[in-house]
Structure 1
Amino acid sequence: MIGHMTQPVTRTFGSAGSTQVRKLRVMSFNIAHGLGMDGKVDLRRTAEVIRNSGADIIGLQEVDNHFSERSGFENQAAVLAKWLEMDYSYGPNLIEPPVQPGQPERQYGNALLSRFPVKYSKNHAYTSPSSLIEDPEPRGLLESIIDLDGTFLSFFNTHLSLGEEGQRENLKQLLEITDASLFPTIITGDFNLSPEHLQLKDFRKTYTDTFGSMGMGIAYTFPARYEDASSAVCTEPASRIDYIFTDQTTTIERTEVLDTPVADHLPIIADLLI
């Protein structure tokens, strides 16, 4: 279910003279439409990783919605939300016509899962750079307003371009959109950029890299660790391109990379005080 605004949202941080603080466990996870390192698509394995993590709010990238036979034409965000008993929102970036007339459009993009109600969501399509040769896949930013028992949270989830021109434009638009937020802000996503990349320099002036702030700048997330003796395939995480960013209203308590082969990226966790 994609949440819809039922009433005007006002900025609320608890009653007068008090400070309301909530502890949240946040995850970012590029699930590769449920495709594991063993070459098998099994969304239940993805759900189990999320369930066992204890995450409250999860930003997911590479999520299919009636997309193709590879994922059984499932609405993966809705299926995960049902299994995990969570609310959700979805932002399609790649949209193709249905296989047969009358069937749903085939979509691929970002999703959000939340233990708390999603009051509003909007998908922002990034403006494409002049050249799409480096990366023809459309990219976007999913914005969701989450109701933390009367305190609202702006949660943004994204998957940036592979090419430098696209990344530069994506980050510029990401900052413009998130700067307009009225509430505490969290940003998750697969940025396809290493922490030291110059493209992230301006972004870091505004938002805090949770892992970097905890001294975990080399907490690699891609590719997932996998070893298959029968095919002599062996991979080790070698880069950090997945992130959880926060604004200055948030305290970071703990961060962790989860070691699992259920996708080609490793999921990351941050325990936060909002």
Structure 2
Amino acid sequence: MNDGHHEQGLTSLRVATYNIHHGADVADRLDLARTAAVIAASGAGLVGLQEVDRHWSERSAFADQAGWLAERLEMRVVYAANLDLHPVAVGQERRQYGTAILSRYPIRSFVNSSLPGVQGGEPRGFLAAEVDLASGQGAPQPLCFATTHLSEASPRAREKEAARIRELLGPTPRRTIVTGDLNALPGTPELKLLTEVLVDAWSAVHAAEEDAGYTFSAAQPERRIDYVLVSPDITVEAVRVRTDVDASDHLPLVADLTW
């Protein structure tokens, strides 16, 4: 698929979602260059990332991972810090951890909306960007591209988070793509809250393979918890899990879309 291609009124786009585990693999070996190579090989023009460090700690060499990946891949980036802590020492950068969106297209605006959580739990957010697929050629083609990382604390926590995302999306979302590590299996109440207004890309193409599409763990895939969800006006042409990579403890999910 020619990503971002426009022909006879049809637009095609490749997107991906990837929990990068702060650039470390299942053996906790840090190698952000390997993460970048996986993203580049996907061919995606829009990528939702989760578990992204920004000056966080020694585990990621205090790097700005979102900025580094964007520069390495020559992509635009927006970052959302769901954890935002004071620096280790005065004068250093704040320690942040959250989600990011990489884009080959202009990002017109973005917002990170806080999600309701459980007391004492890790804060979660819904990062949504308005992207212009026209890239300066012809009339703007706005698209809402979002990413999130739902709680692993409990199904009830995820239900509250999913309900808030659904409120943010509205009853009839259009030209909208939601990606992320939802920490929820297919058919769970929290996922149904979202699939009542969005289409699960994997199910749209692999209806007879609901027990496949595993994205976790990378070492022994046995759960489908990473998703690309699209509004009903977007057609899912293909979707696949990259099972040949080991840069994270998750596997990336890549989808080809048209409208």
Q: TM-score by structure 2 length?
A: 0.90
2:242 corresponds, among 241, 254, 258, to 258
Query: Could you tell me whether the CA contact under 8 Å between 1:154 and 1:181 is conserved in 2?
Result: no
Question: Which amino acid is the alignment partner of residue 176 of structure 1?
Answer: E
2:216 corresponds, among 199, 222, 234, to 222
**Distance in 2, Cα, partners of 1:248 & 1:196:** 18
2:142 corresponds, among 145, 152, 174, to 152
Which residue pairs with 2:166 in the alignment? 175
- Cα displacement (A) at 1:180: 7.8
Which residue pairs with 1:32 in the alignment? 21
The answer to whether 1:267 aligns with 2:252 is yes
Compared with structure 1, are the counterparts of its residues 175 and 255 closer, same or farther at alpha carbon in structure 2 (3 Å cutoff)?
A: same
Which residue pairs with 2:3 in the alignment? none
- Cα displacement (A) at 1:46: 0.4
Structure 2 unpaired stretches of 5+: 1-5, 135-139
Query: Could you tell me whether the CA contact under 8 Å between 2:163 and 2:193 is conserved in 1?
Result: no
- Cα displacement (A) at 1:101: 1.3
Q: TM-score by structure 1 length?
A: 0.85
**Distance in 2, Cα, partners of 1:188 & 1:65:** 20
1:61 corresponds, among 42, 50, 58, to 50
Compared with structure 1, are the counterparts of its residues 105 and 160 closer, same or farther at alpha carbon in structure 2 (3 Å cutoff)?
A: same
Give percent identity, aligned residues only: 39
**Distance in 1, Cα, partners of 2:194 & 2:74:** 34
Cα RMSD after superposing both structures: 1.7
- Cα displacement (A) at 1:258: 0.2
What number of residue pairs does the alignment pair up? 244
- Cα displacement (A) at 1:69: 1.1
Q: Spell out structure 1 runs of 4+ moving beyond 2 A.
A: 18-21, 180-183
- Cα displacement (A) at 1:183: 5.0
- Cα displacement (A) at 1:201: 2.0
In the TM superposition, what whole-angstrom CA distance separates every residue of 1:231-262 from its partner, at most 9, and x where no partner exists?
xxxxx101000000000110110011001111
**Distance in 1, Cα, partners of 2:9 & 2:164:** 31
**Distance in 2, Cα, partners of 1:194 & 1:128:** 19
Compared with structure 1, are the counterparts of its residues 153 and 19 closer, same or farther at alpha carbon in structure 2 (3 Å cutoff)?
A: farther
- Cα displacement (A) at 1:67: 0.6
Query: Could you tell me whether the CA contact under 8 Å between 1:191 and 1:243 is conserved in 2?
Result: yes
**Distance in 1, Cα, partners of 2:91 & 2:172:** 38
- Cα displacement (A) at 1:19: 7.3
Which residue pairs with 1:73 in the alignment? 62
